[in-house]
Each structure stands twice: as structure tokens, then as C-alpha cells.
Amino acid sequence: MVCQYLSNYYLPTRKEDPRDAEIVSHRLMVRAGMIRKLSSGVYSFLPLASRIQHKIDNIVREEMDRIGGLEVKLPIIQPRELWEKTGRWELYGPEMMRFKDRRGAEYGLGPTHEEVITDLLSYEVDSYRDCPLLFYQIATKFRDEVRPRFGIMRSREFSMKDAYSFHADEEDARKSYREVEAAYCRIFDRIGFDYRKVEAATGQIGGSLSHEFMVLADTGEDLILYCDSCSYAANQEKAEGTVVMPEEEPARELEKFPTPGVKTIDDLIKIDSEALPERQVKTLVYRSGDRPLVLLLPGNYQLNEAAVEEQAGGPLSEYSEAEIKQLMGAYPGSLGAVKQDAAIKNLQVWADPSLKGRSNLYTGANIDGYHYRGVDVGRDLKIDRWCQLRVSIAGEQCGRCGNGKLQEQRGIEVGHIFYLGDRYSRSLDADITMDDGQKKPMIMGCYGIGTSRIMAAAIEQSHDDNGIIWPRSIAPFDIYILPISWANDQQRKQAEEFARIFEKQGYEVLVDDRDVSPGVKFNDSELIGIPLRITLGRALEQGLVELTDRATGSTREIPVEQCLEQVEVYLTENGG
RNA sequence: CGGGGCGUGGCUCAGCUUGGCAAGAGCGCUGCGUUCGGGACGCAGAGGUCGCCGGUUCAAAUCCGGCCGCCCCGACCA
């Protein structure tokens, strides 16, 4: 039960867009008096934003509790030694904020909590009988983002719900994964998002099975590819499609020819106009573990590093140009994997399936300033393994059903779930004793929701020229009571009366008792996006008030005595 | 990190090219009065080391050098 008078509140709304804000959610959050920037990617939440965040957190909490989640609170400060045990002190890189205490001991600010929770449970849980366990927290995280942007959407300090599950076997872990997945759907349904669950890459966290929850929005940073025929949908960095290649002409002879100064795909076209990008074999060399890996894909495609890392089972790193020269015999620009080249004989070569069976292609000769033409993939190239190396794009054939075409749509990642296996439990000795007396590491899953990002995503998805349109479920207040003149006795008394009644009915009410002109009140009520407005104006003398729906702008004049009833009808129809 | 842009009262900006009288506007803020159905009006006020440091000059918001901060575009992620 909440009844807030604006004269006792702090709502610093602004007429003008802030200079440094680009996307609509950022602009509106600043204008609506929700957030203020302290530093790049670091924001203060003012009272209005704080209320909304509580609403979001509570929905998340209820649904996590419903599937047996247990709320905990884990430390933000985490010692170096712990992260070294999983290898992530190195792997996580500069994204983790690091510092030393007065004794010189090193710490990181937690960007995520797999290490802490797994370490904790390694001491506490000894038996399979204790499993399964599902812990979660809603807490501040720190990631020194390469590029913070879009206000709270991608900030360095942010709020996230992270959850971790622990199991005696894989089957149980998968069951938990499905339960969390269902809980996430309930959460995003309740918030009222238009969202999509997609297959995802696992990145730094590791693991094999993973899905993301994407709020559909043109300003989203992620690209989703989905099939127009089956239910397949995936993040672009994970999506698998098939490229339909044109019929090849009969294969020509392999021929080496001089290409002085050619460094790029465009350069080669200038020398031979038939060397279109899709006819060139892009040859890349990366370090995978301690061995080189040669990667081949058509020149018109981007390398998908995440996919390669997943296949290789570890991160890729780049060689310097000098190292490449040593390995291949030529600098980047003239690299290739033609069988007869001595340099390639002892190297692992992986190729993208879109190259399979093709001929009359171009590739480097591993001699600076020379290329081959007439390359037949099967005949001429040394290929040890076929696997997808390219980033798939819209228009490819669906890799799942084979019938449909992949379509694209942008999304904002608000949730991500991972099946982890024993990646963390093994390195942190989180063993349990099984019923046969054997010890083995627990099987884990981890599950994140970007709770502060949800606020921004909701605005991206629901706003108009006048401001935010909150879905009822996360609106900071349900009803905005707007007396045209607080000095008018009748209006003031009626406003106070309404406030009492609605509060008693369990609604959250904001009363605009400020001594400002009506225009200011109307504009603010729309800017901050309260679902329902009750306006008390001159018609009150005839016993009439106005109900205005924020989403549609439609207004109805009704007698005072019907107001409670009408409000109930309206608010239950709209996600009550 | 590479590329681009910006930094002048609380906010949004003008002034800078071509150095010079006194650093401005709108909004916001304070006081008084008039208003009260869509960011009202009048009068009177407060508020700025022109991001920082150095240089050029008789003189720098303006020209030069360095640094810092912030935003946008690309390679990374809730």
C-alpha cells in the first residue's frame, strides 16, 4: 500500500534531452528523473528508478523462489587465488576490475560468482543426498566494459540476478536447466516483454548447452537469426546455416600467378576481376593453446571466433605478422593451404563447410606477392576438419530443418542460462560422495538475468513521443492523481479522498499536489509513464472526473462514485 | 585499442573561424505579485577559476602544445 504525494517526493524531470544520451531509454530515464551519471558506465538511481528496480527484482525473486531457489548474498570482493584455481584470473582479462589491499594482496570486483559459490559449496556439501541445490542472488556486478554505452543498458556497474545449481548427475542438472528456463519465461511474460529464447554461445563462462532471452528491439546490440519455417532461433554468433552455392563450372588447372602488393580481398579483385570475394579462400592463422590453427572460409564471410573457440575447446589468440611469416612462409595477404606447399604439411587446417566441393577459387601461395587461381577445394587444399567457422547471416538456409531461410531481428539480451557440467566444480574440488561411495565433482548450471538492464529494455519496447509507458507489472505507481489546481478546495479534498480509497484497495498512488501549472503535471505524468491517470478539473463541480489510459491516451469522463469500480476494471484488464 | 566529435552557471546551447570594451541566451533556481485544462506572465535577484596545466601575446573562452573527462562508430558481453 503506497500513497505518495509529489511535494514530498524527489522527481527531477527535465524538458530537454541530455547531451550525452543517444537511445530512447537512456534519454527518457534521465528526463524522467530516474538516473544520473556519475562516470562513464556508472549511474546513480534516483527514487523513481529505485522503485521500478524493486518491482523487477521482486518478480524475479518470486519466480526463483517458486522453483526452489534459495536467496544468498555473496561477496563482491574476491581474492586472486580463487580465480587462479579456475584459470579465470588470466582468462577474464582487463574486464575484471582489480585492486590491492593495504598488504598488497590482490582482489577482483566480482563480474560473476561461479568461483565464490562453488568454493563455498566445496566445503559445505559432501553428499549427493544434499543435491540438488539452487542458489541465487540479486546483486551489483562490476565489469570494466570495453565500451560502456547506452546509459544503463551496458554499464560497468550493474545489477544482475545470478543463480547457480548443483547436481549429482547430468540428468538432474538438465532438469534444473529446464526449470530455470521455464521460470525465466514466466518472469519475462509477467513483465510483458515481447521476447525470444535463442540458442547461445557460451563465451567466458564455458559449458556446452546455453540459451539467451532476447527482448526484441531495433536498438538491441545482438542479432538473432531465426528460421521462417521451423522453431530454430539462435544468436548470430552461434547460428548455423547452410550456404547454397551456385553450380560450378568444370574445374580449371591450378595456376600460380604474381600478385605484387596484394594484401586484401579488394586488392586481389583489382588484379583479376574474376576473383570475387566469394571466390577467394580467406586463410587465417590463430594460436589455439600452443599450436597454430589454419582456418579457411570464403572471402565474403566473417570469422566466428566464438564458434572456433568452442570447437577448439579454448580461447584463440592472434600471432604477430612476423610469427605468421615464420609459420607459413608469407605475410598475411598471401596465405593459403594448398597441399603442395611445404609450410602447410604439419599444420592443422579447418575449413568452413561452405567451401565444400567448390572449384575455380583463389587463394594465397604462401609466397609474398603470389596467389593461386583455379583452386579446387577437394583436389588442391589440405583440410583436416570441416566445421562452421563463419558467422552466418540472414538469407542462409536453416541449418536445423533445411527447409526454411534464416531471418534476422535485433534483440537485447536480458537473460542467459548455461549448463556448466563440472568445469568449476572440478577445478575447485567441489566433490560429493555418491551412493556407491565414489567421489565425483558436482554437475553445475548457472543462470543470469540483467535486472537493471530490464528497466532500459522495457522502455525501449514501450514508449511514445511523450515518454515512458510502463507495463503495470513494473510501473512505479499504478495511478497518477492529477488535480488541476491544488488550491481548489473541492479538487484537493477529492484528490485526498481518492488517494485514501485507492491506497486502501491496494493500489500504489502518486498524487500531484505541486503548485505548478497544469501543463507541467500532464507532461510529467506522461513522461514517467504511470498506467492510469485520474484528472480532477472543473467538471468535478458536476461530480465528474477523467480517467486516462497512458498507453492509448484515451480519456473517459465518469462520475466520481464510479471511479473505484472503473479503475479496477481498467487495471485488471491491463496486467493487474 | 583504432576512427570521429564534444567540454562555456544546475540543464540545453551561442560566442571561438578573424584574440580586445562587460562572458551571453533559453530553461531551471530564489523572492514578490498576477495566473491555474497541456512545460503561464510581470518585476526583482542569485549563480560561471570558459575541463586542467603550460606556452604565445600588451591582452586568451578564442591561437599553439600536453593532459584529463565524456559521447558516437568498430573489435567484446547481463
What DSSP string runs through A318-344? EPPHHHHHHHHSS-TTS---BTT-GGG
pLDDT tens track for A237-296: 888 898 877 666 777 889 999 998 888 888 888 888 888 888 899 998 888 878 888 999
Residue range(s) defining the domain that contains residue A442: 34-239+408-459
pLDDT band at A207, cuts 50/70/90?
Answer: low
Q: Assess whether A155 and A44 both reside in one domain.
A: yes
pLDDT at A243: 87
Check: CB of residue A513 under 8 Å from CB of residue A461: no
pLDDT tens track for A438-485: 999 999 999 999 999 999 999 999 999 999 999 999 999 999 999 999
Grid cell 547461445 is found at A200
Q: How many residues does chain A have?
A: 576
Of all nucleotides, the one whose C1′ comes closest to residue A151's CA is B71
CATH code of A290's domain: 3.90.960.10
- Phi/psi region, residue A93 (left: phi>0; alpha: psi -120 to 50; beta: rest), is left
Q: Look at residue A343 and tell me whether its pLDDT is greater than 90.
A: no
Of all nucleotides, the one whose C1′ comes closest to residue A212's CA is B78
Q: Assess whether A112 and A234 both reside in one domain.
A: yes
Q: Assess whether A517 and A425 both reside in one domain.
A: no
Nearest protein residue to the C1' atom of B13, measured from CA: A19
Measured from the Cβ of residue A551, the count of other Cβ atoms closer than 10 Å reads 15
pLDDT at A490: 95
**CA A20 / C1′ B60 distance in Å:** 28
Determine the Cα–Cα distance for residues A372 and A352; give it in Å rounded to an integer: 19
pLDDT tens track for A51-87: 999 999 999 999 999 999 999 999 999 999 999 999 9
Q: Say if residue A555 is exposed, middle or buried (CB neighbours under 10 Å; 0-12, 13-18, 19+).
A: exposed
Q: Assess whether A221 and A319 both reside in one domain.
A: no
**CA A50 / C1′ B63 distance in Å:** 48
Q: State mean pLDDT over A337-341.
A: 89
Q: What is the CA radius of gyration of chain A?
A: 29
Determine the Cα–Cα distance for residues A279 and A298; give it in Å rounded to an integer: 7
Instruction: Determine which of A67-81, A318-332, A560-574 has the lowest per-residue pLDDT on average.
Output: A318-332
pLDDT band at A91, cuts 50/70/90?
Answer: confident
Q: Assess whether A380 and A439 both reside in one domain.
A: no
Measured from the Cβ of residue A1, the count of other Cβ atoms closer than 10 Å reads 10
Q: State mean pLDDT over A514-538.
A: 96
Q: What is the dihedral of CA A557, A562, A565, A567, to 10 degrees?
A: 30
Q: Which nucleotides of B are covered by protein (CB under 7 A)?
A: 1, 6, 11-13, 26-28, 35-40, 69-78
- Which helix or strand (DSSP H or E) is residue A235 part of? strand A233-235
Q: Assess whether A205 and A107 both reside in one domain.
A: yes
Q: Assess whether A50 and A191 both reside in one domain.
A: yes
Q: Is residue A20 part of a domain?
A: no
pLDDT at A94: 87
**CA A27 / C1′ B19 distance in Å:** 38
Measured from the Cβ of residue A487, the count of other Cβ atoms closer than 10 Å reads 9
User: Hey, which residues does A38 pair with through a beta bridge?
Assistant: none
pLDDT at A92: 87
Determine the Cα–Cα distance for residues A237 and A390; give it in Å rounded to an integer: 9
Nearest protein residue to the C1' atom of B28, measured from CA: A14
Closest alpha carbon to A234 in A388, A400, A451, A402 = A400
Grid cell at residue A504:
486502501
Q: Look at residue A576 and tell me whether its pLDDT is greater than 60.
A: no
Structural domains counted in chain A: 3
C-alpha angle A15-A20-A21 in degrees, rounded to nearest 5:
70
Q: Is residue A226 part of a domain?
A: yes
Q: Which amino acid is at A285?
A: V
Of all nucleotides, the one whose C1′ comes closest to residue A143's CA is B77
Closest alpha carbon to A328 in A342, A316, A317, A348 = A342
Q: Assess whether A340 and A217 both reside in one domain.
A: no
Of all nucleotides, the one whose C1′ comes closest to residue A413's CA is B78
Q: Is the pLDDT higher at A84 or at A345?
A: A84
**CA A320 / C1′ B69 distance in Å:** 33
pLDDT tens track for A97-144: 999 999 999 999 999 999 999 999 999 999 999 999 999 999 999 999
Q: Is residue A211 part of a domain?
A: yes
pLDDT at A181: 97
Q: State mean pLDDT over A30-43.
A: 95
pLDDT at A203: 67
CATH code of A156's domain: 3.30.930.10
pLDDT at A309: 79
ipTM > 0.95 (yes/no): no
CATH code of A550's domain: 3.40.50.800
Determine the Cα–Cα distance for residues A167 and A179; give it in Å rounded to an integer: 14
Q: Assess whether A205 and A329 both reside in one domain.
A: no
Q: Is residue A395 part of a domain?
A: no
User: Hey, which residues does A255 pair with through a beta bridge?
Assistant: A373
Determine the Cα–Cα distance for residues A214 and A557; give it in Å rounded to an integer: 40
**CA A218 / C1′ B15 distance in Å:** 39
Q: Say if residue A454 is exposed, middle or buried (CB neighbours under 10 Å; 0-12, 13-18, 19+).
A: buried
Check: CB of residue A461 under 8 Å from CB of residue A194: yes
Grid cell at residue A387:
566445421
**CA A338 / C1′ B70 distance in Å:** 50
Domain final position from A326, A354, A386: A386
Of all nucleotides, the one whose C1′ comes closest to residue A536's CA is B37
pLDDT at A311: 80
Half-sphere exposure of A241 (CA within 13 A, CB side): 30
Q: Is residue A282 part of a domain?
A: yes
Q: Assess whether A298 and A368 both reside in one domain.
A: yes
Reduced to 3 states (helix: H, G, I; strand: E, B; else coil), residue A165 is: strand
C-alpha angle A378-A379-A383 in degrees, rounded to nearest 5:
50
- Which helix or strand (DSSP H or E) is residue A59 part of? helix A47-66
**CA A491 / C1′ B36 distance in Å:** 12
Of all nucleotides, the one whose C1′ comes closest to residue A160's CA is B78
Q: Is residue A531 part of a domain?
A: yes
Q: State mean pLDDT over A497-524.
A: 96
**CA A477 / C1′ B46 distance in Å:** 36
Of all nucleotides, the one whose C1′ comes closest to residue A544's CA is B37
The phi and psi torsions of A331 (rounded to 5 degrees) equal: -80, 160
What DSSP state is assigned to residue A536? E
A402: Cβ contacts below 8 Å, ≥ 6 apart? A242
**CA A506 / C1′ B76 distance in Å:** 45
- Phi/psi region, residue A247 (left: phi>0; alpha: psi -120 to 50; beta: rest), is beta
pLDDT at A470: 97
pLDDT at A341: 85
Q: Assess whether A301 and A422 both reside in one domain.
A: no
Q: Is residue A356 part of a domain?
A: yes
Nearest protein residue to the C1' atom of B73, measured from CA: A147
Per the prediction, chain A carries an average pLDDT of: 92
pLDDT at A235: 92
Q: Is residue A23 part of a domain?
A: no
Q: Assess whether A443 and A497 both reside in one domain.
A: no
